[in-house]
Structure formats: C-alpha cells, structure tokens
Amino acid sequence: MQDLEGKKTALDDDAEIYKIHGERAEDRSAGEHWKNLDSKGKWQYFRNYYFWKTFVGILILALLGYIVYNALKPKPEELAFVVILDCAMDTGIVDQQFEKLVEKSGYDTKKAEINSDKRLTSAKNNTTDVTTISAYIFAGAMDIMIGTEDALNHYAQEGILRDLSTILPKDILDGIPEEQRFIFHYVPEKDDGADAVERDIFIGLRMDSTELVKEAKYTTGDTGFILSIVVNGKEDRLEGIYKIIRALYDLPQVQ
C-alpha cells in the first residue's frame, strides 16, 4: 500500500488496523445518523435493522423461561389415577367434574388433582388396550376403575378389584344405599385354590345418580357406569379417595 505521498507502507490493504478504523467510522456514522433522526425516523430505523433480531431474542428468552418454570414449579398432588373403560361421556366435562370433586373434597385445585385415562376399551380382542390396562394394574398406577357391569365382572373375577365392604369407612357404607351398590357373584375357578368359595362381593358403586355422570353423559338413559377401587393401587391415597367418594355422593366430609 502507498501513503498519500506515494510511498510504500509496511501494511497490506486488508490490515486489521484499517478494519477497526473502518468499523469505528461506521459506528460513528450510524450514531450520528441516529441522533439526527426524528422519532418517526428512529422507529423506522429500528424496524429495518433491529426489530426481528430483538423479537427473536425475546422469543427465545420467553421459551427458555417457560421451560425452566415448568421444570421447577411444584407439581400438583395426584389424589387418584382413574381409568374409565368404554367412556361414553364428554371427556372435557368429566375433567371439569373431577376438578369440582377435588374442591368439594377440601383440596386446593392448584395443589391437588385427579388424573385419568379415558381412551381405553374393555374389549378383550383389543390387545393394545388390554396391555395398557394390565400395565397400569401390575405397576400399581391405577387407583380407581370405572366401567360397566360386564367389564367390572371380568376384572373382579381376576381378583383385581377390592371388596368395598372391608375397606370403606363406616360413614360411607352407611351413606350409600343398597340400590347404588354393585355386587359381584364370585364363582371359584379350578385354579383359584382350595380355600376359594362361592360368594357375593361388594365391588362397586353405581354412578348414574351422581352429578358427574348426569352432566357428562351424551345420552338421556343410564350409562351403567360403576366405580371400583383397584387392589394394588397406592395405599397412601385411600384417605383421599374416600374424600372423593364422599364428594361424589354428596356425603359429609369427615374431619
């Protein structure tokens, strides 16, 4: 490179000092240009050069904040996990009714919830649903099963459902009339053992009289839904489940 007098210099044309000087000149030029703009011009300048960069940056920060918040915020306590077989009810209304039951049971709906799976059928030829139900049962993930008589008869015969006469508190047993009780007639099978005897077992509570079913069902007739409690559900949830049952059948809560 030559200087102004035509003499050769030691620096190449692309030397870093020239780049820095050029960038500083551009910065000064941009700064002076910004100062000379009126408010409308500054807004137009910002839109042309910085708006999308700023927008994308804010969007990324918001997304990261949302991810961190959801990862760190306390999760609501799961009072019960319910499986509704062959659900013939409006699932959105069912969820609303579950939330009302949580509140009627004396819990804060922001801190406690009832979760459910309403996708499954009781059809024995549906291997996917049968496998999912079996996984819930043997993992101890399901607390309550709701279904029709045929479905519950099948699972009761398999020994999956609790005898409610032995676990429900006295106030619930006294408050649920006979016509709302579902009795399963157990007949021993040859593999059930010598001590198995034919008997009637109280395994379910009929739900057609409850607000939940009345509000959520699609038809005007009975649904035939029955609530049962699964044998190997989580034991520490039983007290909460009793509160849910009291709320479901409009029984007084016991302190």
Residue 166 sits in a domain of what CATH number? 3.40.190.10
Same domain, 108 and 23: no
**CA-CA distance, 234 to 144, in Å (whole number)?**
10
Identify whether residues 42 and 100 lie together within a single domain.
no
End of a domain among 57, 72, 87? 72
Range 31-41 average pLDDT? 68
Least confident of 1-5, 46-50, 227-231: 1-5
**Domain match, 182 and 209 both:** yes
- Please check whether residues 31 and 155 belong to one and the same domain: no
Instruction: Provide the token pair at 33.
Output: 């240009």
Residue 253 falls inside a structural domain: no
How far apart are alpha carbons 251 and 8 in whole angstroms? 101
Residues 225 and 116 occupy one common structural domain: yes
- With vertex at residue 159, the alpha carbon angle to CA 131 and CA 127, rounded to the nearest 5 degrees, is 15
pLDDT at position 53 over 80: no
Same domain, 229 and 159: yes
- Pick from 73-77, 101-105, 129-133: least confident: 73-77
Q: At what angle do helices 238-248 and 91-104 cross, to 10 degrees?
A: 110
> In this predicted model, what pLDDT tens digit does every residue of 68-99 receive, in sequence order?
756 666 688 999 999 999 999 999 999 999 99
- When pLDDT is averaged across residues 230-236 and rounded to a whole number, the result is 92
What is the per-residue pLDDT for 30? 60
Domain ends where: 6, 37, 72?
72
CB 104 within 8 A of CB 164: no
Confidence of residue 17 (pLDDT cuts 50, 70, 90): very low
Instruction: Return d(Cα 188, Cα 67) in angstroms, integer.
Output: 53
The domain in which residue 39 lies consists of 16-72
Residue 10: the pLDDT is 52
Residue 52 is predicted with a pLDDT of 75
pTM of the full structure: 0.71
Region 119-125 average pLDDT? 93
Domain-ending residue, one of 39, 72, 105: 72
Within the chain, strands assigned E span: 77-84, 112-117, 144-147, 181-186, 199-206, 226-229
Residue 1 lies in a domain: no
| Range in 41-55, 113-127, 162-176 with the lowest mean pLDDT | 41-55
- What percent of the chain shows pLDDT beyond 90? 59
Number of folded domains that form the chain: 2
Identify the helix (H) or strand (E) that includes residue 149. helix 149-157
